[in-house]
């Protein structure tokens, strides 16, 4: 596809700018800004930590000065919240708004921060406020390739109004030009591609083993073999190994070889070589906490004045969040760890606790931070050294090696621009954990995986399009999917749409004239659309009190962890009604499809206790659940309750047949409001 330059009436620069807010721009930053000044949609592909954010900062600043509105989208709420704070400081809080489903503040602001899901939902429903938005920033646009959530990015790009311009910020991807060509085909307007492969701070990748020290990747298997032979009293350099010796190298089990290297050895190496601060990735929450406690029992890295700075920072954060120390589970334990310059960070922690940890890291008061993979997405804070406890992860289906993209998303946090000549990446090499036949991948940013379509349509998407657009326009939209662009013979998106539309027809959600009352409700729901719609029309939700409503919402959105499957509970009354509704739905579908929503009613007693005013510490004494997971459940429940409220109000406006009058309870909006208020308190409440 031939790319064209898009000229605008504003002044066009003869050459790319060199500075932004007294910051000397890199060539790729300058090039991207030049395209933005020419009102051209732009896709920037560059390694983690190279300064893509500066490009977005320029665009936000330019929109404010020119009186245009801009939406900034990010994949996770933590990143949205961080960006809100950053831009509030940069352009003034009154100029910035935030929308994350469970949180809404200043929604008419010139700069609007939101999750990509919220942006997509606004597009699919035709929200009027979008007509005034001139630009949208897709931070982490490579999430197009995310197995479960990539469809959100694809749908959002397909649904964007033609006049809206786009800035996409991506980690390095090999097919950035293909993605730009696809966006051009959708919007019928040029998309500039700015690709930058050089890191601002180069990375050195090393393995580490207690017996061998640091090992270059190409020497790893040699070092492993040497260690195993040394364990047997043999010297690889001596040569003349017998066939029996060689056969014995095939299995460490046969050798009885054990490698007692551990994370403490690697951290000692980091300390001895002055490579702090260190971000140590561990692929499990429990592992994060255990390793942090083990290190804290043996090490103390902070001087007295730094310990005082930690105390002050903690007090400032708690005061800003209106929380007392006893609000934080095991506060005495973790605060003592923080005063030693050690911390852990994972999704199971309270947001307030994570905020304190992030503040301490930002203020250079942490030397070692053990973190899970979520830190690499939700927090943008570089360090001197990144360590990996393992190169494998459980992805929900299997234990596998990290992809190149996953590895560099984490490894790319190593190296602080302006501070370090290079970033160091250390990988734990446990010679007892892998065999001669299994070699870890070679990590190479030239071998990153390409972005591929992950589109998967929802009932909400189908209902909204059926309500708003004629068939020929729907067909045109679906023909612009990334899936079809990458493979013209791929018709899966059409089949998916047709199947879901037929399901909605059979269930009386729509007909040839458009949406029926059930469909009007469905189009306002983004999760469990069919089940919730049926329960509304059965009058089940109308019979619920405030506590039951809150528990019901949490049960439909919460994703349990394996350790939580044994929660004791008495099945709520609505569960039987849900079974009846689902049986009726599937009977009407008569084998054409089956609706099988995932429900987790075991969480309802916890939510009920919270709504009744019980403290989080008391609740978690009785149930094996992480505080962060509990807060996530409450916030998702708040989001769903707001969707249900919108659906009920849509039902008010629709022409509802007499036999569904029990669904339209005039007290429902008030009960939902009370449920949200009861959920949104104390540690669950978001403080921006």
DSSP state letters, 402-426: PPHHHHHHHHTTB--TTT-SSEEEE
Q: Which helix (H) or strand (E) holds 518?
A: helix 517-522
Instruction: Answer yes or no: do 62 and 208 share one domain.
Output: no
Is 463 part of any domain?
Answer: no
Query: How does strand 368-371 pair with strand 41-45?
Result: unpaired
Is 140 part of any domain?
Answer: yes
Instruction: Answer yes or no: do 154 and 245 share one domain.
Output: no
Q: 358: burial class by Cβ within 10 Å (0-12, 13-18, 19+)? A: buried
Residue 658 has pLDDT above 50, yes or no: no
Instruction: Answer yes or no: do 539 and 643 share one domain.
Output: yes
CA 444 to chain centre: 24
Average pLDDT over the chain reads 89
Which pLDDT does position 659 carry in this prediction?
Answer: 40
Is 563 part of any domain?
Answer: yes
Residue 49 has pLDDT above 90, yes or no: no
The token pair that represents 465 in the structure block: 């399009």
Place of tokens 């019901």: 552
Is 484 part of any domain?
Answer: no
DSSP state letters, 303-351: -HHHHHHHHHHHHHHHHHTT--GGGSTTHHHHHHHHTTTEEEE-TTS-H
CB-based contacts of 359, cutoff 8 Å, min separation 6: 313, 317
Which pLDDT does position 248 carry in this prediction?
Answer: 53
The token pair that represents 401 in the structure block: 């090696």
Place of tokens 């032979």: 229
The rounded distance, in Å, linking the Cα atoms of 531 and 336 is 47
Of 137-141, 176-180, 327-331, 544-548, the least confident:
327-331
Instruction: Answer yes or no: do 674 and 587 share one domain.
Output: yes
Provide the b/e sequence for 577-587 (b: ≥16 CB within 10 Å): bbeebbeebee
Of 178-192, 284-298, 549-563, the least confident:
549-563
Radius of gyration of the chain (CA): 27
What phi and psi, each to the nearest 5 degrees, are found at residue 131?
-65, -20
Is 465 part of any domain?
Answer: no
Is 663 part of any domain?
Answer: yes
| Domain ranges, residue 61 | 19-195
Residue 254 has pLDDT above 60, yes or no: no
pLDDT tens digit sequence for 56-83: 999 999 999 999 999 999 999 989 998 9
pLDDT tens digit sequence for 102-113: 888 999 999 999
The rounded distance, in Å, linking the Cα atoms of 356 and 372 is 17
Cα separation of the two ends of the chain: 44
Q: Which residues pair with 19 in a beta bridge?
A: 24
Instruction: Answer yes or no: do 68 and 142 share one domain.
Output: yes
Instruction: Answer yes or no: do 561 and 430 share one domain.
Output: no
Place of tokens 């019980």: 614
pLDDT tens digit sequence for 413-434: 999 988 999 999 999 987 766 5
Is 124 part of any domain?
Answer: yes
Instruction: Answer yes or no: do 189 and 207 share one domain.
Output: no
Percent of the chain clearing pLDDT 90 (strictly above): 72
Which pLDDT does position 102 carry in this prediction?
Answer: 87
Instruction: Answer yes or no: do 549 and 445 share one domain.
Output: no
Instruction: Answer yes or no: do 127 and 232 share one domain.
Output: no
Of 642 and 5, the one with more pLDDT: 642
**Nearest C-alpha neighbor of 125 from the set 499, 572, 526:** 526
Cis peptide before 277 (omega within 30 of 0): yes
The rounded distance, in Å, linking the Cα atoms of 423 and 384 is 6
Residues 454-475, mean pLDDT to the nearest whole number = 95
Which pLDDT does position 130 carry in this prediction?
Answer: 85
Instruction: Answer yes or no: do 227 and 258 share one domain.
Output: yes
Residue 7 has pLDDT above 50, yes or no: no
**Nearest C-alpha neighbor of 453 from the set 486, 414, 477, 417:** 486
Instruction: Answer yes or no: do 163 and 212 share one domain.
Output: no
The rounded distance, in Å, linking the Cα atoms of 556 and 560 is 11
Which pLDDT does position 344 carry in this prediction?
Answer: 98
CA 438 to chain centre: 31
The CATH number of residue 33's host domain is: 3.40.50.300
Of 661 and 126, the one with more pLDDT: 126
The rounded distance, in Å, linking the Cα atoms of 168 and 157 is 10
| Most confident among 428-432, 440-444, 545-549, 616-620 (mean pLDDT) | 545-549
Residues 363-391, mean pLDDT to the nearest whole number = 93
Residues 525-530, mean pLDDT to the nearest whole number = 97
Residue 324 has pLDDT above 80, yes or no: yes
Of 18-32, 38-52, 345-359, 427-441, the least confident:
427-441
Query: How does strand 41-45 pair with strand 191-195?
Result: parallel
To the nearest 10°, report the CA torsion of 411, 412, 414, 415: 150
**Nearest C-alpha neighbor of 339 from the set 318, 316, 310:** 310
- Does pTM top 0.85 for this prediction? yes
Residues 35-45, mean pLDDT to the nearest whole number = 97
Q: Which of 195, 212, 241 is the last residue of a domain?
A: 195
Provide the b/e sequence for 462-472 (b: ≥16 CB within 10 Å): bbbbbbeeeee
* Angle (deg, nearest 10), helices 529-537 and 459-468: 70
How would residue 237 be classed by pLDDT, with cut points 50, 70 and 90? low
Is 329 part of any domain?
Answer: no
Domain count, the chain: 3
Of 128 and 613, the one with more pLDDT: 613
How would residue 381 be classed by pLDDT, with cut points 50, 70 and 90? confident
DSSP-derived secondary structure letter, 466: H
Residue 54 has pLDDT above 90, yes or no: yes
Instruction: Answer yes or no: do 214 and 112 share one domain.
Output: no
How would residue 520 be classed by pLDDT, with cut points 50, 70 and 90? very high
Which pLDDT does position 66 carry in this prediction?
Answer: 95
The token pair that represents 593 in the structure block: 């499809």
Residue 11 has pLDDT above 50, yes or no: no
């Amino acid at each position: 596809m031939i790319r064209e330059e898009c000229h605008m009436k504003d002044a066009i620069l003869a050459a790319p700018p060199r500075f932004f807010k007294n910051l000397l721009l890199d060539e790729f930053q300058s090039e991207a800004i030049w395209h933005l000044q020419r009102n051209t949609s732009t896709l920037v592909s560059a390694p983690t930590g190279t300064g893509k954010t500066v490009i977005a900062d320029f665009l936000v600043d330019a929109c404010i000065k020119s009186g245009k509105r801009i939406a900034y989208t990010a994949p996770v709420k933590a990143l949205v919240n961080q960006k809100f704070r950053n831009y509030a400081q940069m352009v003034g809080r009154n100029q910035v708004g935030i929308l994350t489903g469970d949180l809404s503040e200043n929604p008419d602001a010139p700069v609007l921060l939101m999750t990509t899901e919220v942006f997509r939902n606004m597009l699919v429903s035709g929200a009027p406020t979008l007509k005034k938005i001139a630009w949208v920033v897709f931070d982490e646009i490579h999430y197009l390739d995310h197995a479960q959530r990539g469809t959100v990015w694809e749908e959002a790009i397909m649904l964007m109004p033609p006049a809206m311009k786009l800035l996409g910020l991506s980690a390095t991807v090999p097919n950035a030009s293909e993605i730009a060509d696809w966006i051009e085909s959708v919007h019928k307007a040029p998309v500039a591609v700015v690709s930058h492969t050089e890191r601002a701070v180069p990375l050195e990748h090393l393995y580490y083993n207690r017996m061998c020290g640091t090992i270059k990747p190409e020497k790893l298997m040699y070092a492993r073999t040497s260690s195993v032979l040394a364990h047997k009293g043999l010297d690889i350099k001596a040569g003349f190994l017998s066939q029996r010796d060689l056969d014995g190298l095939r299995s460490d089990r046969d050798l009885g070889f054990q490698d007692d290297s551990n994370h403490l050895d690697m951290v000692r190496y980091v300390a001895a070589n002055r490579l702090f601060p260190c971000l140590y990735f561990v692929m499990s929450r429990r592992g994060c906490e255990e390793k942090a406690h083990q290190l804290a029992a043996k090490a103390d890295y902070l001087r007295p004045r730094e310990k005082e700075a930690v105390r002050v920072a903690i007090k400032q954060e708690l005061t800003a969040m209106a929380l007392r120390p006893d609000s934080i589970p095991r506060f005495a334990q973790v605060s003592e760890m923080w005063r030693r310059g050690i911390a852990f960070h994972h999704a199971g922690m309270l947001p307030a606790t994570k905020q304190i940890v992030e503040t301490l890291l930002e203020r250079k008061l942490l030397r070692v931070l053990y973190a899970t993979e979520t830190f690499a997405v939700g927090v943008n804070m570089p360090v001197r050294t990144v360590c990996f406890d393992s190169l494998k992860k459980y992805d929900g289906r299997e234990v596998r090696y990290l992809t190149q993209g996953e590895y560099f998303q984490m490894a790319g946090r190593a190296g602080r621009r302006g501070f370090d000549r290079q970033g160091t990446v250390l990988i734990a090499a446990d010679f007892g954990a892998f065999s001669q036949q299994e070699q870890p991948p070679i990590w190479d940013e030239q071998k990153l995986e390409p972005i591929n379509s992950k589109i998967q349509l929802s009932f909400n998407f189908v209902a909204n399009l059926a309500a708003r657009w004629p068939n020929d326009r729907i067909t045109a939209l679906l023909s612009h999917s990334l899936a079809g662009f990458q493979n013209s013979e791929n018709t899966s998106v059409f089949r998916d749409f047709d199947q879901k539309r037929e399901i909605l027809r059979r269930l009386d959600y729509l007909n040839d004239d458009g949406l029926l009352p059930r469909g009007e409700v469905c189009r306002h729901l983004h999760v469990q659309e069919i089940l919730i719609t049926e329960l509304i029309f059965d009058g089940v939700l109308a019979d619920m009190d405030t506590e039951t409503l809150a528990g019901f919402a949490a049960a439909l959105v919460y994703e349990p962890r394996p350790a939580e499957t044994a929660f004791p509970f008495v099945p709520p009354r609505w569960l039987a009604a849900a079974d009846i509704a689902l049986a009726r739905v599937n009977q009407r579908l008569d084998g054409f499809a089956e609706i099988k929503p995932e429900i987790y009613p075991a969480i309802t007693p916890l939510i009920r206790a919270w709504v009744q005013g019980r403290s989080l510490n008391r609740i978690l004494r009785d149930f094996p659940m992480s505080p962060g997971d509990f807060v996530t459940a409450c916030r998702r429940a708040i989001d769903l309750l707001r969707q249900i409220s919108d659906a009920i109000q849509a039902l008010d406006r629709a022409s509802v047949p007499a036999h569904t009058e029990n669904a339209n309870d005039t007290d429902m909006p008030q009960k939902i409001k009370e449920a949200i208020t009861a959920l949104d308190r104390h540690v669950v409440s978001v403080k921006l």
